[in-house]
């Protein structure tokens, strides 16, 4: 009985272990240690390598190993030796899928069953290695190019370097900030500058980076908001430093505050939700109307607040929205926090590019209650409905115009739309948008509805001291006129008299808290404009104010981007010049060396520096700063070698590269590889000959690039083995090829032929 229970327990454990292997997210493979054949692969391993279940069983483990400098047999010996020493081997392996694509895995290999079976657990790390490869010096420079740059010593907290833009932002002269503690630019808040700086330091120590907004102070005492990205950096001159990139975001925060003012003070129920139905942002009007806090409204999908009888149609409508449909005037009952329900009418506009939806809603509960009361008391509700309908129509116009502004509609389009909507929502015959002309006493009609043809865009209005415009600008309040012909407070505009205007309402449009222009509505009959009409016009003016500010800030951003492009190009130019200076210095040093081997090593170094300088020269000479034309680069590189080896030898060369442009993080390693291959050809291929030929090719093959250098010289020695060759040039070739995730092969084909295959950009 005990024996049977033991057997059952072992069987149960085996089933449990088998189930665990089947459901592991990592790829698991069991391998016989004596012949390296595959015993078992779990589903995750099969999916990772593109094989069907059982397809790998019995196959040699090398079927999934990609060719590298280390043979599969050597790799197996290394793993077996490590397992014997510590019981486990951990490392990175380049694998190959069934379809031939290569990828990197992190593998953990252990032995069990008396060291007869290996178990290997694999995790795909291709994306992680690609990310590490991309973090080169040049990408670091390009990513950190911004307005103000500062280096702060981690040891002392003092400023060791800051660029001129940083000094300009903070109002200091050249070199004045060097040696100062970084707290000198921190403005006092509820925390002292020292406390604020210490908090940032702690975050940098823990996470190696920090980004966010902080309140800064200039030398003259002016405080402003700055957005900063900070990271740790080891500098050859300054040691371990914090690298900070600063951007003055004062204007952006002001624009954000104006938008928040429009959003927060709107009477409509405004919100932004994700595609799964959860609110991301709600305004106070929505919280107040429904009785929830902002966090409570965000706690679950908004359709779950619907009345049970309305839930089905609510979900149906929202499914249309997440597939790109705009929904207007959808009504359902929404549950309030106190358990009651209110009748809400929704307009929902999707933005699939950002994976969000804009929502605006209005509570019509009181409207429905009023309707019921009027019907019960036999009172005509036509007038009441008309008024409520007008109010609803106005609010809908505001919400739709606001959504257009948030989506970045062109300013002129937005002003034309605003004039049309004001005319329709207020049921007046005329509307217009006037813009204050700089350095002038006039306003230009930039948008309008109802006026005689040709006036919009050309007609101007005076703002002298007796004008209606001057009166409005001086009072800084909405201006309502019920009987224009009898008006005595200011001179009447001739344009209004020509069109028979009797009543009007005008409000100011602001830009940076200063008047930018005037929004007006006009009708040719007596009209008593209401407080709701004033709120409507002012809301439209506020949206235009937001759009005007946004357009100006976009223009500032475009100018800044142009300036940064020029700066980046200048950096490439200066790097090229500095490399040429270094090259000249090394060459001068080599001339003082009598030992030929040492002098040859110096000359090789000069050629490598020139190859890098040539990359930067190619970038400097093009309008595209992120890539180079490899054909031009190759031609210039060969020309340099011919000049350097001008000893009467006649070289014929061909370049088979058709319109190939490589990104800089791929081009630089390729350029250095090509330099080494050409250097070997010029040195060794044509010894004792008076002429020869070199062919350089670069072309696409499937999803890879092939770089090939061939010559018709002596070829490689019969015993040539790259793994046994210890020359610096060959070490550089192998290292750089591995950096771009490539492979290199050497063979004799009417001379030496070197072929590098890599994944390029």
The DSSP secondary structure of 590-610, one letter per residue, reads HTT---HHHHHHHHHHHHHHH
Banded model confidence at residue 627, pLDDT cuts 50, 70, 90: low
258, pLDDT greater than 90: no
Q: Are 105 and 119 in contact (CB under 8 A)?
A: no
For position 581, what pLDDT does the model report? 52
Pairwise pLDDT comparison (761 vs 523), residue with the higher score: 523
Banded model confidence at residue 573, pLDDT cuts 50, 70, 90: very low
Q: What is the pLDDT averaged over residues 481-487?
A: 88
Q: What is the pLDDT averaged over residues 501-529?
A: 90
Distance from C-alpha of 601 to C-alpha of 604, rounded to nearest angstrom: 5
593, pLDDT greater than 70: no
Q: Express as a percent the part of the chain with pLDDT over 70.
A: 82
143, pLDDT greater than 70: no
Pairwise pLDDT comparison (642 vs 287), residue with the higher score: 287
pLDDT in tens, 193-250: 677 777 777 877 777 778 888 889 999 999 988 888 888 878 878 888 888 888 888 7
Report the candidate in 117, 108, 61, 116 with the shortest Cα–Cα distance to residue 86: 108
**C-alpha angle 159/165/168, rounded to 5°?**
90
pLDDT in tens, 28-62: 998 887 888 898 898 989 999 999 988 999 998 88
Q: What is the pLDDT averaged over residues 546-557?
A: 78
Q: What is the pLDDT averaged over residues 702-729?
A: 83
Q: What is the pLDDT averaged over residues 491-516?
A: 89
Pairwise pLDDT comparison (682 vs 389), residue with the higher score: 682
Pairwise pLDDT comparison (84 vs 283), residue with the higher score: 283
CA atoms within 13 A on the CB side of 652: 7
Question: DSSP of 331-351, one letter per residue?
Answer: EEEEE-TTS-EEEEEEEEEEE
Banded model confidence at residue 4, pLDDT cuts 50, 70, 90: low
For the ranges 414-423, 566-575, 635-644, 665-674, the maximum mean pLDDT occurs at 414-423
For position 173, what pLDDT does the model report? 92
Question: DSSP of 347-367, one letter per residue?
Answer: EEEEETTTTEEEEEEEE-HHH
For position 7, what pLDDT does the model report? 47
For position 589, what pLDDT does the model report? 55
Pairwise pLDDT comparison (255 vs 580), residue with the higher score: 255
Pairwise pLDDT comparison (551 vs 483), residue with the higher score: 483
Pairwise pLDDT comparison (435 vs 16), residue with the higher score: 435
* The token pair that represents 736 in the structure block: 């750089």
Distance from C-alpha of 623 to C-alpha of 630, rounded to nearest angstrom: 15
535, pLDDT greater than 50: yes
**C-alpha angle 335/337/339, rounded to 5°?**
60
pLDDT in tens, 600-616: 655 666 666 665 555 55
* Kind and range of the H or E run holding 279: strand 279-282
Q: 401 burial class (0-12, 13-18, 19+ CB within 10 angstroms)?
A: buried
Distance from the Cα of residue 566 to its chain's centroid: 21
For position 574, what pLDDT does the model report? 47
Measured between its terminal Cα atoms, the distance across the chain in Å is 68
Q: Are 630 and 670 in contact (CB under 8 A)?
A: yes
10, pLDDT greater than 90: no
- Predicted structure pTM score: 0.34
Pairwise pLDDT comparison (372 vs 506), residue with the higher score: 506
Query: Worst-scoring range by mean pLDDT, 55-64, 113-122, 169-178, 567-576?
Result: 567-576
Q: Can you state the angle between helices 728-739 and 664-680, rounded to 10 degrees? A: 150
Distance from C-alpha of 638 to C-alpha of 681, rounded to nearest angstrom: 11
Q: What are phi and psi of 550, to 5 degrees?
A: -65, -40
For position 620, what pLDDT does the model report? 46
Banded model confidence at residue 621, pLDDT cuts 50, 70, 90: low
Query: Worst-scoring range by mean pLDDT, 233-237, 358-362, 418-422, 437-441?
Result: 233-237
Question: DSSP of 434-465, one letter per residue?
Answer: EEEPTTSSEEEEEEEESSPTT-TTT-EEE-ST
136, pLDDT greater than 50: no
Q: What is the pLDDT averaged over residues 117-136?
A: 74
Q: What are phi and psi of 223, to 5 degrees?
A: -100, 145
Q: Express as a percent the part of the chain with pLDDT over 90.
A: 16
For position 158, what pLDDT does the model report? 92
């Amino acid at each position: 009985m005990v024996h049977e229970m033991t057997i059952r327990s072992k069987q149960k454990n085996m089933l449990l272990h088998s189930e665990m292997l089947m459901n592991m997210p990592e790829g698991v493979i069991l391998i016989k240690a004596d012949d390296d054949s595959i015993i078992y692969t779990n589903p995750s391993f099969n999916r990772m390598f593109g094989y069907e279940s059982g397809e790998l069983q019995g196959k040699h483990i090398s079927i999934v190993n990609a060719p590298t400098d280390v043979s599969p047999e050597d790799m197996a010996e290394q793993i077996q030796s490590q397992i014997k020493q510590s019981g486990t081997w951990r490392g990175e392996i380049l694998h190959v899928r069934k379809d031939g694509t290569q990828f990197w895995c992190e593998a953990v290999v252990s032995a069990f069953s008396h060291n007869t079976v290996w178990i290997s657990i694999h995790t795909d790390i291709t994306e992680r290695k690609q990310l590490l490869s991309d973090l080169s010096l040049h990408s670091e420079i390009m990513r950190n190019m911004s307005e103000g740059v500062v280096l702060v010593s981690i040891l002392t907290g003092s400023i060791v370097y800051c660029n001129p833009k940083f000094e300009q932002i903070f109002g200091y002269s050249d070199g004045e900030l060097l040696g100062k503690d970084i707290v000198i630019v921190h403005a006092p808040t509820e925390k002292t500058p020292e406390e604020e700086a210490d908090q940032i330091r702690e975050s940098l120590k823990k996470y190696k980076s920090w980004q966010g907004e902080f309140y800064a102070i200039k030398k003259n005492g002016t405080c402003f908001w700055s957005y900063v990205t900070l990271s740790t950096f080891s500098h050859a001159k300054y040691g371990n430093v914090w690298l900070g990139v600063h951007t003055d975001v004062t204007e952006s925060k002001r624009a954000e505050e104006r938008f928040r003012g429009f959003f927060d003070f709107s009477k409509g129920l405004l919100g932004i939700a994700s595609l799964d139905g959860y609110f991301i942002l709600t305004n106070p009007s929505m919280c107040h109307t429904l009785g929830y806090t902002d966090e409570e409204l965000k706690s679950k999908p908004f359709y779950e607040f619907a009345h049970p009888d309305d839930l089905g149609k609510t979900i149906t409508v929202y499914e249309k929205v997440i597939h790109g449909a705009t929904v207007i005037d959808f009504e359902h009952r929404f549950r309030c926090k106190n358990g009651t329900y209110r009748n809400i009418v929704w307009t929902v506009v999707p933005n699939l590019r950002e994976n969000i939806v804009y929502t605006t809603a209005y509570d019509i509960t009181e409207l429905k209650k009023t309707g019921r009361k009027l019907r019960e008391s036999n009172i005509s509700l036509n007038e009441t409905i008309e008024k409520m309908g007008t109010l609803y129509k106005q609010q809908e116009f505001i919400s739709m115009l606001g959504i257009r502004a948030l989506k970045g509609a062109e300013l002129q389009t937005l002003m034309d739309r605003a004039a049309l909507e004001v005319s329709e929502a207020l049921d007046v015959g005329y509307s217009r948008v006037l813009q204050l002309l700089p350095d002038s006493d006039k306003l230009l009609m930039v948008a309008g509805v109802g006026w005689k043809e040709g006036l919009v865009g050309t007609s101007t209005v005076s703002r002298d001291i007796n004008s209606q415009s001057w009166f409005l600008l001086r009072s800084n309040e909405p201006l309502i006129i019920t009987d224009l012909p009898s008006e005595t407070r200011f001179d009447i505009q001739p344009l209004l008299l020509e069109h028979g205007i009797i009543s009007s309402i005008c409000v100011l449009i602001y830009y940076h808290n200063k008047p930018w222009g005037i929004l007006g509505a006009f009708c040719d009959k007596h009209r008593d404009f209401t407080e709701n009409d004033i709120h409507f016009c002012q809301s439209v003016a506020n949206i235009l104010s937001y759009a005007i500010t946004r357009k100006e800030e976009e223009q500032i951003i475009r100018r800044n981007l142009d300036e940064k492009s020029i700066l980046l190009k200048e950096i490439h130019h200066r790097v090229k010049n500095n490399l040429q200076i270094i090259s000249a210095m090394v060459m001068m040093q080599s001339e003082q060396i009598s030992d030929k081997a040492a002098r040859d090593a110096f000359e090789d170094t000069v050629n490598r520096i020139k190859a890098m300088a040539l990359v930067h020269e190619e970038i400097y000479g093009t309008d595209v700063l992120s890539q180079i034309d490899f054909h031009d680069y190759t031609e210039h590189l060969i020309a340099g070698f011919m000049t350097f080896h001008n000893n009467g030898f006649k070289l014929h060369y061909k370049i088979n590269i058709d319109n190939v442009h490589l990104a800089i993080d791929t081009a630089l390693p390729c350029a250095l590889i090509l330099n080494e291959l050409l250097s070997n050809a010029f040195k060794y291929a044509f010894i004792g000959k008076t002429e020869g030929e070199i062919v350089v090719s670069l072309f696409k093959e499937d999803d890879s690039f092939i770089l090939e250098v061939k010559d018709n010289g002596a070829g490689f020695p019969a015993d040539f083995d790259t793994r046994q060759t210890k020359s610096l040039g060959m070490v550089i070739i192998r290292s750089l090829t591995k950096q771009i995730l490539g492979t290199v092969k050497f063979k004799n084909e009417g001379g030496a032929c070197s072929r590098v295959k890599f994944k390029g950009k």
